């Protein structure tokens, strides 16, 4: 049976869309797109535009970034007409979203940096708002994703930038179909399947089209369920389970006064869901006020900015309760964002009674973020008493159920029905969170060597054993030995949780001692509250709310505070800061600084030397805290039920290919507790879906992948003899699978190359061939050669990137050549080092842009023996000369002012943000016509980035 071609798939889709009410229209080029836009806007607005009036509309539409255009789409334009009158132009009816005009076209040709043709475009009122890219059945979706990224670089900005109005991208190969918002910075991991309300995914293109691309439904998604994220200046679109949760809450508010809660697993984006729910409920005229309630530790800068952007002044990040009371009493303030602590103060202090009486009998809707932490105590009772007509909705990833209930109260007792459920197995299946790799080390054993059972452990006093100096030193030594492999050479960070303040301080001091002994250079920081009894509260499995003021300062807590003060002094010395814990305000400042530094690793602007490698805690940071680049949790305390799942979930946020799982290393025998927690919060058979397979399974997978690779290319040299593009594609896919499995294997403590059917040397030779193909594909793209079937393959270079291999490493290897004896053995050793350097240049993705230059240096400067210092000096002089010449060449060939171009590069290196068109234009010596402007700007930016990649990045300490 023949494989359905992309053209056949496209024609089937066009027919299906036409059946759903999308009018087919032929728009072969930008001129036709403009003419159609004019006609559609005229019809939608009931007006007729002159050519000059339409030019003003096009000029208005062309302005701004993708984020700003998303706002333009939702606003009205003030149009000054030729006759002197003023009218307002609507581009999209976001209130009655079905009352828009719908068309479908295909193969629109747009010429930007290159000539491109887009597959299927859905137009609303003449604007392209949904773009569908197709691949033939059998090809991966990531190829379509990469193609859209290339279009964004090369042509979406051309032709009045109308394709920058795309709100939703859809990618499909017929069998699998995903959607995502228009955000260039996101990874393929941020693409989603649509699903039914029961979380059953809808993957086939035909079924997806019927469910998602029905014209009224997709208009509703654009109108209501795209969030314009102010902090990052990007549009975001809700995933299906977020959509169903918001719809369920909104429906309950519209139809009555019942409460409810949403069970969405940790890491699935509950804050975004609750934000959108609050945003929509506010629009209900029957609701007097919406109060969004978070824990003080979670009210970070980003949350504040998002809510204040939506409703100015809705968030007050201070401890001033008076302002909250005024907000609650003010009928004009429809949305209020507050902390649970401040809300409790406002409703329990008598002095606020008069002001609070104004709203007591109003219809107030409360939305609680992370309600498993905030609503199981006196606070909930206080809120119910203060607002007898309130309607309450809670969000939780780990609800309190009958099995783990505190004081016999469950989440259902407090909030009523579960309105929507999306558990951890759903999220792992959809690749919205990662699975866990759990290893158990340092279990308690009897004298005969057998493990103590949980019952036996419970019957003895093990605190002395667990906090013994020798044991803690053993744990720390294990972490020091394995931390780099767990975190891929510190590309990721880790949290380590200890059983008590005493155990933590012993652990911290042991890390410091080992550092002084020269055993590691890890950056270790810590935070804990002052309470002497901050230890395992494992009776109910609940990790309590973190007290971000540190707790009371008195004689009983002085010792803990002094210990922490010393740790903060170490932190200040390490990072050049000036924090203290002298009072609650200072403690909170230190807490926020730690959170910011842990999250900074997520940013492109992150400087590795300024990051925390391991954060030691007792309870803090184990709930609610999210840092995508945290991939490891070292556990040296008892955890169970929701506390265990919450703590483990600090590690399983999705981030690229290299982060393949969340690593959990348990220094306690928690296996039974892990199994119980998984069964409780998913189902009893879910363990295999949540935990990754044992080490041997991945060894077997690697060896099977080796066999598959050898069937394509028996030797590295055979790769050069592959005759067809299909064979080359097969090699790329086979080696990529090998990389993926090896990436997981290297995080196991027992990993050994001896277990694998391909040793590292042979793997490196194949890797070099793989990178040769990547370079050729990249070169062909830039030369605008014909499309290739491997043109859009994602080579996943991050899986083979080694940060410790840089130019400084190569130079040290070359410099050591001069130290060899001048005899036959010494010359052989020198040649071996030179060959090793050349091999590294071929096999390291980060060095290939520098390969030709370094090879030239080796060929021209190392023909005679030199000392190490002579080699280094010669290389630095050579590199400076080449860098200066390349800089001059770019300025000469592109007609750039050298000082301006230099400033442009410095700005890019500092901010890691691409220059804007307005930044590049002043650097051009000669003015450029409108038609050529964007292609010239794109080329200059590409050359700027290429220059920095070649001469400045991944150099190391020369």
Structure token digits, residue 737: 């699978």
Indicate the burial class of 939 (C-beta count within 10 angstroms; 0-12, 13-18, 19 or more): middle
Nearest to 181 by CA among 129, 108, 232: 129
**pTM for the full model?**
0.81
Indicate the burial class of 338 (C-beta count within 10 angstroms; 0-12, 13-18, 19 or more): buried
pLDDT in tens, 656-705: 888 999 999 999 888 888 888 888 887 656 667 788 888 999 999 999 99
Alpha-carbon radius of gyration of the chain = 30
DSSP 8-class letter at 17: H
CA–CA distance, 623 with 535 (Å, rounded to integer): 16
More confident residue, 305 or 528: 528
Q: In what order do the strands lie in the sheet with 524-526?
A: 436-440, 662-666, 630-636, 493-498, 614-617, 524-526
The per-residue pLDDT of the chain, averaged, comes to: 85
Residue 785 pLDDT? 54
Which residue(s) pair with 445 in the sheet? 451
Q: What are the C-alpha distances in Å from 287 to residues 250, 311, 426?
A: 11, 16, 33
DSSP 8-class letter at 105: E
> Is residue 534 predicted with pLDDT exceeding 60?
no
Indicate the burial class of 807 (C-beta count within 10 angstroms; 0-12, 13-18, 19 or more): buried
DSSP 8-class letter at 285: T
> Is residue 340 predicted with pLDDT exceeding 90?
no
pLDDT in tens, 17-71: 999 999 999 999 999 999 999 999 999 999 999 999 999 999 999 998 899 999 9
pLDDT band at 539 (very low <50, low <70, confident <90, very high): very low
Q: How many CB atoms lie within 10 A of CB 761?
A: 9
DSSP states along 678-697: HHHHT-TT-HHHHBPPPHHH
Structure token digits, residue 913: 């943000």
> Is residue 556 predicted with pLDDT exceeding 70?
no
CA–CA distance, 619 with 638 (Å, rounded to integer): 11
Cβ–Cβ < 8 Å for 152, 145: no
Structure token digits, residue 217: 């439904």
pLDDT band at 1 (very low <50, low <70, confident <90, very high): very low
Nearest to 25 by CA among 121, 148, 92: 121
pLDDT mean over 96-101: 95
Q: Is 183 helix (H, G, I), strand (E, B) or coil?
A: coil
pLDDT in tens, 807-851: 777 778 787 776 666 667 777 777 777 787 777 777 777 777 788
- Percentage of the chain beyond pLDDT 90 is 37
pLDDT in tens, 450-465: 666 555 555 555 677 8
Alpha carbon 731 to its chain's center: 30
Cβ–Cβ < 8 Å for 118, 151: yes
pLDDT band at 535 (very low <50, low <70, confident <90, very high): very low
Cβ–Cβ < 8 Å for 136, 4: yes
pLDDT band at 529 (very low <50, low <70, confident <90, very high): confident
């Amino acid at each position: 049976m023949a494989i359905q071609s992309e053209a056949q798939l496209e024609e089937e889709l066009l027919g299906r869309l036409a059946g759903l009410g999308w009018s087919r229209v032929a728009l072969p080029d930008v001129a036709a797109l403009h003419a159609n836009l004019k006609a559609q806007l005229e019809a939608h607005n009931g007006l007729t535009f002159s050519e000059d009036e339409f030019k003003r509309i096009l000029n208005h539409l062309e302005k701004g970034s993708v984020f700003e255009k998303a706002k333009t789409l939702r606003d009205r334009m003030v149009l000054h007409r030729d006759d002197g009158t003023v009218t307002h132009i609507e581009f999209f009816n976001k209130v009655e979203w079905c009352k828009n005009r719908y068309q479908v076209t295909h193969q629109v040709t747009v010429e930007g940096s290159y000539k491109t043709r887009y597959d299927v475009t859905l137009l609303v009122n003449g604007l392209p708002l949904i773009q569908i890219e197709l691949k033939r059945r059998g090809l991966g979706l990531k190829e379509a994703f990469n193609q859209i990224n290339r279009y964004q670089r090369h042509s979406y900005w051309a032709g009045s930038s109308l394709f920058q109005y795309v709100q939703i991208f859809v990618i499909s190969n017929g069998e699998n179909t995903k959607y995502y918002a228009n955000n260039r910075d996101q990874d393929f991991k941020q693409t989603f399947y649509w699903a039914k309300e029961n979380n059953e995914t809808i993957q086939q293109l035909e079924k997806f089209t019927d469910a998602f691309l029905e014209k009224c439904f997709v208009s509703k998604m654009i109108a209501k369920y795209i969030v314009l994220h102010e902090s990052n200046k990007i549009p975001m679109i809700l995933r299906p389970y977020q959509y169903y949760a918001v719809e369920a809450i909104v429906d309950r508010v519209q139809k009555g006064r019942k409460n409810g809660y949403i069970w969405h697993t940790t890491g699935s984006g509950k804050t975004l869901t609750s934000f959108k729910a609050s945003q929509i409920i506010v629009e209900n005229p029957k609701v007097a006020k919406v109060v969004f309630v978070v824990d003080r530790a979670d009210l970070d800068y980003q949350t504040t900015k998002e809510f204040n952007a939506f409703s100015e002044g809705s968030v007050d990040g201070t401890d001033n309760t008076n302002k909250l009371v005024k907000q609650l009493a003010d009928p004009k303030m429809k949305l209020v964002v507050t902390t649970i602590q401040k809300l409790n103060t406002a409703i329990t202090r008598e002095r606020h009674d008069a002001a609070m009486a104004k709203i007591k009998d109003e219809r107030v809707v409360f939305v609680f973020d992370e309600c498993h932490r905030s609503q199981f105590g006196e606070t909930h009772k206080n809120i119910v008493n203060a607002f007898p007509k309130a309607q309450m909705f809670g969000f939780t990833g780990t609800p309190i159920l009958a099995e783990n209930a505190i004081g016999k109260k469950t989440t259902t007792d407090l909030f009523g029905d579960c309105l929507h459920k999306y558990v951890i197995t759903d999220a792992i299946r959809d690749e919205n969170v990662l699975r866990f790799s759990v290893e158990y080390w340092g279990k308690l054993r009897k004298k005969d060597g057998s493990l103590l059972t949980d019952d036996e452990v419970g019957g003895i006093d093990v605190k002395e054993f667990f906090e013994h100096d020798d044991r803690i030193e053993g744990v720390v030594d294990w972490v020091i030995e394995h931390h780099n492999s767990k975190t891929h050479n510190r590309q990721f960070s880790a949290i380590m949780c200890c059983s008590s303040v005493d155990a933590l301080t012993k652990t911290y001091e042991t890390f410091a001692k080992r550092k002084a002994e020269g055993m590691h250079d890890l950056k270790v920081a810590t935070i804990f509250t002052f309470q002497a009894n901050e230890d395992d509260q494992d009776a109910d499995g609940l990790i309590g709310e973190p007290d971000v003021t540190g707790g009371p300062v008195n004689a009983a807590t002085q010792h803990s505070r002094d210990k922490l003060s010393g740790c903060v002094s170490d932190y200040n010395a390490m990072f050049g800061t000036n924090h203290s814990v002298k009072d609650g305000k200072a403690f909170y400042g230190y807490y926020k600084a730690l959170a910011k530094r842990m999250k900074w690793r997520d940013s492109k602007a992150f400087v590795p030397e300024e990051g925390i490698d391991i954060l030691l805690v007792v309870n803090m940071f184990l709930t609610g805290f999210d840092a995508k680049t945290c991939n490891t949790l070292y556990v040296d305390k008892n955890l169970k039920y929701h506390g265990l799942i919450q703590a483990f979930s600090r590690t399983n946020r999705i981030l690229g290919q290299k982060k393949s799982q969340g690593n959990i290393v348990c220094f306690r025998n928690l296996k039974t507790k892990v199994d119980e927690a998984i069964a409780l919060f998913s189902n009893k058979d879910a363990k295999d879906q949540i935990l990754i397979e044992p080490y041997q399974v991945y060894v077997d997978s690697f060896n099977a992948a080796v066999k598959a690779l050898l069937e394509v290319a028996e030797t590295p040299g055979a790769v050069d003899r592959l005759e067809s593009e299909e064979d080359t594609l097969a090699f790329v896919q086979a080696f990529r699978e090998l990389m993926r499995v090896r990436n997981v294997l290297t995080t196991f403590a027992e990993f050994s190359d001896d277990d694998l059917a391909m040793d590292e040397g042979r793997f490196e030779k194949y890797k070099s061939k793989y990178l040769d193909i990547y370079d050729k594909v990249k070169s062909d793209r830039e030369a605008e050669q014909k499309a290739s079937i491997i043109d859009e393959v994602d080579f996943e270079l991050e899986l083979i990137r080694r940060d410790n291999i840089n130019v400084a490493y190569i130079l040290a290897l070359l410099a050591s050549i001069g130290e060899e004896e001048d005899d036959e053995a010494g010359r052989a050793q020198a040649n071996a080092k030179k060959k090793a350097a050349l091999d590294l240049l071929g096999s390291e993705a980060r060095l290939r842009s520098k390969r030709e230059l370094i090879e030239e240096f080796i060929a021209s400067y190392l023909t005679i023996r030199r000392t190490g210092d002579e080699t280094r000096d010669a290389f630095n002089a050579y590199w400076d000369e080449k860098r200066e010449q390349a800089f001059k060449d770019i300025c000469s060939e592109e007609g750039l002012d050298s000082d301006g171009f230099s400033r442009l590069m410095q700005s890019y290196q500092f901010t890691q943000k691409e220059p804007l068109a307005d930044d590049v234009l002043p650097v051009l010596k000669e003015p450029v016509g409108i038609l050529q402007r964007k292609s010239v700007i794109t080329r200059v930016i590409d050359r700027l980035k290429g220059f920095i990649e070649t001469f400045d990045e991944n150099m190391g300490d020369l």
